[in-house]
Amino acid sequence: MVSAVPIPTTCRRRIGPLAPVGPLPMRLRAFLLTIALASTASVSADTEPGGPLAQAASRGVTARDPSTLVREDDTWWCFYTGRGVRSLHSKDLVTWQPGPAVLDEPPPWIAAAVPENRGTYWAPDVMKVGDRWLLYYSVSSFGKMDSAIGLATTPTLDPADPDFQWTDRGEVVRSREGGDFNTIDPAIFHARDGRLWLAFGSQWSGLKLVELDPATGKRLHPAAPLIPIAAGKSIEAPYLHQHGDRYYLFVNRGDCCRGDQSTYYITVGRSDRVEGPYVDRDGKPLLEGGGTLVLGIENGPLTGPGHAGIIEKDGKEWFSCHFEADDRMAGEATLGVMSLEWSGDGWPQVTPPEAR
């Protein structure tokens, strides 16, 4: 299970030492409370007023490159970068426990397709389509264009269900050194008209879109050209969402994977068509480097938001992502769940932790 994190006496960045908490007995009580928290079997909700999700982040839960959070029955699931694709599950989006890996062994096709990969698969995304769950995952090695996106399916996410079984379905799309795009960071999108799409990409010529066959989860037209949807310096991690009659494309810009020195931030553009063109609030196309800021580099104790997702719980929308570093967790990456609202002119507004 995910263990609670001891409360540090100082934060690593942006603020100085904490003020003394009082006489020795109070300090002793605080110390004993920290020990008790560290021994718990799971991460507990913060006790500040306003409810656990209103506190902006699921503090204490490390999940880099999280999938869209999905729910089956009364359980939420998150899949994230790790060996074989890692998983977490929760009843309330606050207390999380580890679940099984998706792939116990590397599928045979990977050794030939991406020989430098060593069994860690990146930035998965998951959705139920029809009677099964589709999970897309990235197979690559850092900084390389020899990459592929694979697909695994299961009838259920519940490991206790006798029908539970992840089955690898092989490669969906691939890129090669010498090309101009990179097949990582898949994001599945099921439009209201029933069409199924996969956005993906990192760096080089930017982010792409392909249509999928809902029956197979593979490309509907394998020979069709990739549809460009966003470009510019340091771009990756797309996420598509439909709000009202418009389509919204969230993207990451900046550099990941540097802890509290990461420069990751999230921007958005919108379009009347899923294929684009996407433009930001000022009318600048995302294909020309545009994007309206959603979350900046620094958000209170959290640095470097990445890999957007949107869910609905109890009639309200919430925005999920990871943060590259959390000062409250000694600089470890953390999963975040934040309040999402929409402006009067139809732009997403995410409440960062510093505003709480």
Q: How far is C-alpha 174 from the chain's CA centre?
A: 21
> How many Cβ atoms are within 10 Å of 353's Cβ, its own excluded?
18
Query: Quick check: is 345 catalytic?
Result: no
Give the contacts of 168 (CB within 8 A, at least 6 positions apart).
Answer: 103, 107, 150, 151, 152
Any catalytic annotation for residue 65? yes
- Adjacency order of strands within the sheet including 196-200: 187-190, 196-200, 207-212, 227-230
Task: Determine how β-strand 147-154 pairs with β-strand 167-175.
Answer: antiparallel
DSSP conformational letter for 355: G
Give me the catalytic one of 171, 236, 280, 298: 236
- Any idea which residue has 């994007």 for tokens? 291
DSSP symbols for 224-265: SPPEEEE-SSSEEEEEEEEETTEEEEEEEES--SSGGG---E
**Residue for token pair 């999230």:** 266
> How far lies 295's CA from each of 9, 199, 300, in Å?
27, 21, 11
Consecutive H or E run containing 111: helix 108-113
**Residues acting as catalytic residues:** 65, 236
